Amino acid sequence: MRTGKLLPWLFVRSLRLCRHVVANSHVAKRVLTDDHDIVSHKITVIHNSVLRFTDETAARNNVLRRYHGANPTTAVLLNVAMFRPEKNQRELIEIVSGLPASLDWQLWLAGEGPERAACERLVAIVRGASL
């Protein structure tokens, strides 16, 4: 279930009839419960995933890693999404900023949208995060 778009009537009907719905944000869950009368206990929120590139997958991404200053053992956390308030990249940046300094990691955020400039300003003050 995606936010930001009008949901077709038949799609909403199918959501009412299915056993369970996975939404990608709490905003999406609110849209389903408030606007479409889908019961809350039928909905689980699973945010867009954050991927960790391991040594095996890093071998295929060496050029990109070098470009961003990541070595083959750097844990790269990747989030690809529109920069909109409900995607909450700001919280992700704040969470990863608390990772121990001894860990070799980078946060890569990809996307466009109205929250990008605010995230870039936050990244500028948070050690270890990179757009």
DSSP-derived 3-state class of residue 72: coil
The total of other beta-carbon atoms located within 10 Å of residue 30's CB is 15
Structure tokens, 30: 């609110």
Per-residue pLDDT of 18-76, as tens digits, reads 999 888 888 889 999 999 999 999 998 877 665 565 666 656 678 888 889 988 888 88
| Cβ–Cβ < 8 Å for 124, 116 | no
| Cβ–Cβ < 8 Å for 9, 69 | no
pTM confidence score? 0.56
